[in-house]
Amino acid sequence: MNEPQQKWTETIEASHSLFDLRLSEVWRYKDLIYMFVKRDFVSSFKQTVLGPIWFFINPILTTIVYLVVFGRIANLPTDGAPRLLFYLAGVTLWNYFSSSLTGTSYTFAGNANIFGKVYFPRLVTPISIVISNLMRFAVQLLLFILGWAYYLSKGEVHPNWWILATPFLIILMALFALGVGMIFSALTTKYKDLNMLLGFGVSLYMYATPVIYPVSSLPDPFKKIAMYNPLTGIFECFKYAWMGVGEFSPLMLGISSVIILILLAIGIVIFNKVEKTFMDTV
């Protein structure tokens, strides 16, 4: 009598394609993503006095500092946009990108104990980091929208239909942070001192990004260079869409999209390659 054929639920393979994201497998572990997101959210404010109120305090205090230092003292232009709203927009976007990039870059080093004990798609971890930071971003974006509504009622901002591209801009930022974060996460398994370089580099990168100044204020040679900063198109499009200021063009956003997709592909290749052997070096 023929025995019934067994169907395996898990298959252990020696190798897989470097470009294989195994998204179907990641989807099967969506509950784990939810648990990681919940863990990050709770741990961020555990044993704190103000709790989630820090979501608002951080951008407000940072915006005030920028307003005094760059607005009053340095007197940097804002293309006619209200200074407070201009800096709040930059801070809101930058906080999401920098926190997602920094968190993703510690994927292997920060989760070595878990990775060494149980199997699950390693991509679950950086995805959960990007999503948990997205929750913080949503709260800070609400703060920006409240300020924007105030200035809109006074007729000091002039939004346009590009405001509909906001979800696309957020996705681009998430993919950019994910791609670059996976690259650094893979490299830091072998070169530990890259963690310090990343922290320093992120701080410098902010000044190379139109967070506290508009691209229009740059000399012509630097404008061309700024075009190839993936965040330039995103930040300029956001400010142009919500406040009607800046020298935004669809070409800027197109360049940003292409560069981000290339970096994401590189990040995927490196992440998939290191994921097989990182326990030997971490």
CA 25 to CA 88: how far, in whole Å?
39
**Whole-number pLDDT of residue 27:** 75
**Nearest residue to 124 (alpha-carbon basis) of 40, 23, 260:** 23
Q: Does 98 have pLDDT greater than 70?
A: yes
Q: What is the mean pLDDT of residues 261-269?
A: 90
Is residue 1 classed as helix, strand or coil in its secondary structure? Answer: coil
Q: What is the mean pLDDT of the chain?
A: 83
Q: What is the pLDDT of residues 218-228, one digit of tens each?
A: 888 888 888 89
Q: Does 74 have pLDDT greater than 70?
A: yes
Q: What is the pLDDT of residues 21-39, one digit of tens each?
A: 566 777 787 787 888 887 7
Q: Does 279 have pLDDT greater than 60?
A: no
Cα 195-198-204 angle, rounded to 5 deg:
150
**Whole-number pLDDT of residue 96:** 94
Q: Does 55 have pLDDT greater than 60?
A: yes
**Whole-number pLDDT of residue 271:** 80
| Domain extents in the chain | 51-280
Binned at pLDDT 50, 70 and 90, residue 125 comes out as confident
What tokens were used for 39? 């863990």
CA 148 to CA 242: how far, in whole Å?
8
Binned at pLDDT 50, 70 and 90, residue 276 comes out as low
**Whole-number pLDDT of residue 280:** 46
CA distances from 254 to 44, 80, 172 (A): 35, 25, 11
**Nearest residue to 246 (alpha-carbon basis) of 259, 231, 233, 255:** 233
102 or 118: whose pLDDT is higher?
A: 102
**Whole-number pLDDT of residue 216:** 86
Q: What is the pLDDT of residues 153-211, one digit of tens each?
A: 998 999 999 999 999 999 999 999 999 988 888 887 777 777 778 888 888 999 999 99
Q: Does 249 have pLDDT greater than 50?
A: yes
**Whole-number pLDDT of residue 52:** 66
Question: For the chain, how big is the Rg over CA atoms in Å?
Answer: 21
**Whole-number pLDDT of residue 233:** 93
**Whole-number pLDDT of residue 75:** 87
Q: Considering the chain, what percentage of its residues have pLDDT values greater than 70? A: 82
Q: Does 14 have pLDDT greater than 70?
A: no
**Whole-number pLDDT of residue 32:** 79
